[in-house]
Amino acid sequence: MQRVYLDNAATTQIRNEVVQAMISTLSVFVGNPSSMHLFGREARSLIEESRISVARKLNALPSEIIFTSGGTEANNLILRSAVRDLNINRIITSPLEHKSVLETVLDMARRGWVTVELVRLKEKGVIDLEDLDEKLQNSSVSTLVSLMYANNEVGNLLDVDGFGTICKKHGACFHSDTVQAIGHYSMDMSRLPFHFASASAHKFHGPTGMGFAFIRKATGLMPIITGGYQERSMRAGTENTCGIVGLAKALELTYLHLDEDRKRIEELKSYCISSLRQSVPGVFFNGLSDDISRSLYTILSVSLPVKDDLLGFELDLKGIAVSQGSACGSGSGNSSYVVEAVCDPVQMENTTPLRISFGVFNQKEDVDALVSALKVLMDQKKKS
């Protein structure tokens, strides 16, 4: 059976060179990076070289990179510490955020630590800057704004510069979940307007279970996981040397090939849009997904003109992996709150959303296989 993987926003295939770098770290015994002897010092230097390499790619300071177990932990570290250590008592965020942000702020709201406000969305899930500005006006409480760089379900690129200007004007702290952007866009942390950001290695062809928090110098965050003094006392626990080496290698390679990969994947996405339009009448795209310059080149969120919760499963039976959220307002357990937030409920009636997401290993043939499978499935459903 053919195997087509178009779910790169969920996770990406690790690059061979990354596997090799990780194997060399595992196969030569290195000690505990906190030990003072040679074995320990060897591990320490692998970690610190990796940190320097990551920082260089992002024009950050090495001390601003704190390795974590992934994007979820990085978001938790930033949000929970900001509330506890920076005396934040209000968080403004949006309905587009990943659960690692939304559930974390809601948890803190349930405990009475913060109030949470959701910024208003305009058409296609665009954040209303005026609403953000109004919410921040005349406020006597210290506020953290948490708004992502790019959305993981519909692919909208958000106006982080606009958010940054407004946050600065009102003296608010700004966190951006950059998990779907780091490794896909060049990022200059010295110029970007946020205080805090997060990244996850498995989104850029690195290992799962590895990520980092970007914590701008002198912002005053404190650890959430306490114990030893690892990660400059920001995250206790013996470091995952091999994972850190893998993350740094993956980031190095992703930025080395960025321009050519981006061009090729962007063309693949455009090709997928036109093939779907041609072969599946009635198809439409969610949020800003089909606007190439305003959405991630890696994500295409499509709505198909049938209501079928098993569509993703039927594609899976044909060897094609994509991600499925249920149609707007379906009320089913797996409905996508992001698609619901950005879509027009009337337009979404009797449709099924699918997220198609691309990575460096995808080829035109993968898109052809998906589109022809969808065409067959749509024809069958129309007849039945």
Catalytic residues: 328
Only one of the segments 176-184, 247-255, 285-293, 362-370 lies at the binding site for ligand PLP (rule: CB under 6 A); that segment is 176-184
According to the binding rule CB under 6 A, does residue 125 interact with ligand PLP?
no
Residues 87 and 67: their CA atoms lie apart, in Å, by 24
According to the binding rule CB under 6 A, does residue 184 interact with ligand PLP?
no
Positions in 41-80 near ligand PLP (CB under 6 A): 70-72
Which residue lies nearer to ligand PLP by CB, 152 or 230?
Answer: 152
Element (H, E) at 263: helix 258-279
Positions in 280-309 near ligand PLP (CB under 6 A): none
Q: Which residues of 281-291 are buried (b: 16+ CB within 10 A; e: fewer)?
A: eebbbbbbbbe
Residues 371 and 195: their CA atoms lie apart, in Å, by 42
**85 neighbors 113 (Cβ within 8 angstroms):** no
According to the binding rule CB under 6 A, does residue 180 interact with ligand PLP?
yes
Query: What dihedral do alpha carbons 102, 104, 108, 110 form, nearest 10°?
Result: 60
According to the binding rule CB under 6 A, does residue 336 interact with ligand PLP?
no
The crossing angle, in degrees rounded to 10, of helices 16-27 and 241-256 is 150
Tokens encoding 196? 């805090």
Residues 208 and 11: their CA atoms lie apart, in Å, by 8
CB of 64 to ligand PLP, least distance (A): 19
Which residue lies nearer to ligand PLP by CB, 194 or 284?
Answer: 194
CB of 72 to ligand PLP, least distance (A): 3
**114 neighbors 83 (Cβ within 8 angstroms):** yes
CB of 8 to ligand PLP, least distance (A): 11
Residue 31: Cβ-neighbour burial (10 angstroms; 0-12, 13-18, 19+): middle
**25, 50, 100, 324: residue in contact with ligand PLP (rule CB under 6 A):** 100
According to the binding rule CB under 6 A, does residue 98 interact with ligand PLP?
yes
According to the binding rule CB under 6 A, does residue 243 interact with ligand PLP?
no
**104, 176, 200, 295: residue in contact with ligand PLP (rule CB under 6 A):** 200
Residues 63 and 212: their CA atoms lie apart, in Å, by 12
Only one of the segments 174-182, 226-234, 305-313, 331-339 lies at the binding site for ligand PLP (rule: CB under 6 A); that segment is 174-182
According to the binding rule CB under 6 A, does residue 182 interact with ligand PLP?
no
Which residue lies nearer to ligand PLP by CB, 71 or 359?
Answer: 71
Contact residues toward ligand PLP (CB under 6 A) are: 70-72, 98, 100, 148, 152, 177, 179-180, 200, 211
